[in-house]
Amino acid sequence: MKIYLKIWRQKDASSKGQMVNYTMDGIEGDMSFLEMLDVLNEELISKGEEPIEFDHDCREGICGTCSLQINGRPHGPDTMITACQLHMRSFKDGDTITIEPFRAKAFPVIKDLIVDRSAFDRIQQAGGYISVNTSGNTVDANAIPIEKENADDSFYAATCIGCGACVAACKNASAMLFTSAKVSQFALLPQGRVEATDRVMNMVRQMDIEGFGNCTNTGACEVECPKGISLENIARMNREYLSASVKG
């Protein structure tokens, strides 16, 4: 295939960026999207030009670092996949593909297609853990009875990989889906109830401090989430927050 690329190039966080056009020939449909970018970078390096910076790690849809806005959609045109799982067979010969970093005030661009998503880390650090000392006193997992529905919902919430697609998809750049998933995975389990009040209050407070917007209630976050995190988690977090607020 012959494809035309429009890629966001930005020297650093303080520089003004712009779209730059590239043309590529001989692209195979079995190539992954990131492999295509690797080939482009090899061509740029051979010409003595600066390669395009983009995040990647596992390339298996696990880590979430390959966050790219592709033709206006987080992770590209396919659903329930990350950018590293997207293949060039999803495009046609002669297509023009626009590639940008995730756009959000709380995700400042570092360089080219790389954004700083450490805001997610700080939300997690604000309460996304259970302070239980298990050193030398481990307990079998089946020692505490947990309803299967709760266990399943907790597991599904925990599959969130923190890629930020929910933020990029939301016109308000809201982090409600991410934060609610991290709240839910503990709120649904008895081990997480001990700190439930502090957890939801602290994580929501940190989310607001980071500059994420309000929930739009449009559901774009769930649609674009590569792990299919449900909007039900946002409703659960709202209930948890209301309960915690009443408790004071």
64-113 tens-digit pLDDT: 999 999 999 999 999 999 999 999 999 999 999 999 999 999 999 999 99
pLDDT digits (tens, 9 = 90+) for 199-233: 999 999 999 999 999 999 999 999 999 999 999 99
247 pLDDT higher than 80: yes
Angle of helix 176-187 versus helix 196-209 axis, rounded to 10: 170
Mean pLDDT of the chain: 95
What pLDDT is recorded for position 24?
96
- Answer yes or no: is pLDDT of 137 > 90: no
Give the CA dihedral 103, 59, 86, 158, nearest 10 degrees: -70
Give the 3-state secondary structure of the chain. CCEEEEEEECCCCCCCCEEEEEEECCCCCCCEHHHHHHHHHHHHHHCCCCCCCCCCCCCCCCCCCCCCEECCEECCCCCCCCHHHCEHHHCCCCCEEEEECCCCCCCCEEECCEECCHHHHHHHHHHCCCCCCCCCCCCCHHHCCCCHHHHHHHHHHHCCCCCCHHHHHCCCCECHHHHHHHHHHHHCCHHHHCCHHHHHHHHHHHHHHCCCECCCCCCHHHHHCCCCCCCHHHHHHHHHHHHHHHHC
Q: What is the mean pLDDT of residues 35-54?
A: 97
End-to-end, the C-alpha distance of the chain in Å comes to: 61
Cβ 169 vs Cβ 224: under 8 Å: yes
Mean pLDDT, rounded, for 37-41? 98
Q: What is the pLDDT of residue 80?
A: 95
C-alpha 75/C-alpha 229 separation (Å) is 15
Whether residue 172 has pLDDT greater than 90? yes
The pLDDT value recorded for residue 141 is 66
| Residue 37 confidence (pLDDT) above 80 | yes
Residue written as token pair 């520089």: 15
Q: For the whole model, what pTM was predicted?
A: 0.93
Confidence grade of residue 131 (pLDDT, cut at 50, 70, 90): confident
Over residues 115-127, mean pLDDT: 97
Predicted confidence band of residue 143 (pLDDT cuts 50, 70, 90)? confident
- % of the chain with per-residue pLDDT over 90: 90
* Phi, psi dihedrals of residue 224, rounded to the nearest 5°: -90, -10
> What local confidence, expressed as pLDDT, does residue 56 receive?
94
Question: In this model, does residue 174 exceed pLDDT 90?
Answer: yes
Residue 134, pLDDT > 70, answer no
Higher pLDDT, 247 or 171: 171
Better pLDDT: 163 or 143: 163
Helices 148-158/176-187 angle, 10° precision? 140
- Residues paired with 20 in a beta bridge: 7
Q: What is the edge-to-edge ordering of all strands in the sheet holding 18-24?
A: 18-24, 3-9, 96-100, 69-70, 73-74
* Closest of 60, 86, 61 to residue 73, by C-alpha: 86
Q: What is the mean pLDDT of residues 232-242?
A: 97
pLDDT over 70 for what percent of the chain? 96
**Domains of the chain, with CATH numbers?**
3-111 (3.10.20.30), 117-247 (1.10.1060.10)
